[in-house]
Amino acid sequence: MDEKRAGQERFDRATHRLLKATEALHAAVVDDTDPGTLDSVREQREKAFESLREATMGEVTPGSAARACLSRIKILDDEIISLGAEVVGQLRRQRQSLHRRRSAIHAHGKRERGEPLLLTVKA
């Protein structure tokens, strides 16, 4: 029984660590932190997730606190993914707009090259 309780406590600690790491990552994404800081926060979350994975190797049933942490982690993850999707959408629209402008400039230049030049010569 003590082994099961120790596994449960390890799972609860790992879940709480993952929640804290996810909150830090969420704050970094929302605050539009520089990429270096974002990478370090993401690495911390990966380590916390790995410790949670190790804690789940045994037979563990999440308690109410762990379920609340997991629920909050899911909400934060969904927000992070949604913010990422918005950024990707903005970048895609910018890229398409730039492509349309380049195509229009290219077509205009091609049309001008195809037209005969008119020169005036003074006598």
Q: pLDDT, tens digit, for every residue of 80-115?
A: 999 989 989 999 999 999 999 988 888 877 776 666
Whole-prediction pTM:
0.73
User: What's residue 118's pLDDT?
Assistant: 66
User: What's residue 47's pLDDT?
Assistant: 95
Alpha-carbon span 9 to 83, nearest angstrom: 33
Higher-pLDDT residue of 7 and 90 is 90
Q: Are 60 and 8 in contact (CB under 8 A)?
A: yes
Q: Give domain limits for the chain.
A: 2-113
CA distances from 1 to 7, 35, 74 (A): 10, 46, 30
Alpha-carbon span 117 to 34, nearest angstrom: 53
Residue 119 CB contacts under 8 Å (≥ 6 apart), including other chains: none
Residue 59 CB contacts under 8 Å (≥ 6 apart), including other chains: 4, 7
Residues in the chain: 123
Alpha-carbon span 68 to 73, nearest angstrom: 9
Helix 64-114 / helix 2-30 crossing angle, nearest 10 deg: 30
Q: pLDDT of 32-46, one tens digit each? A: 777 788 889 999 999
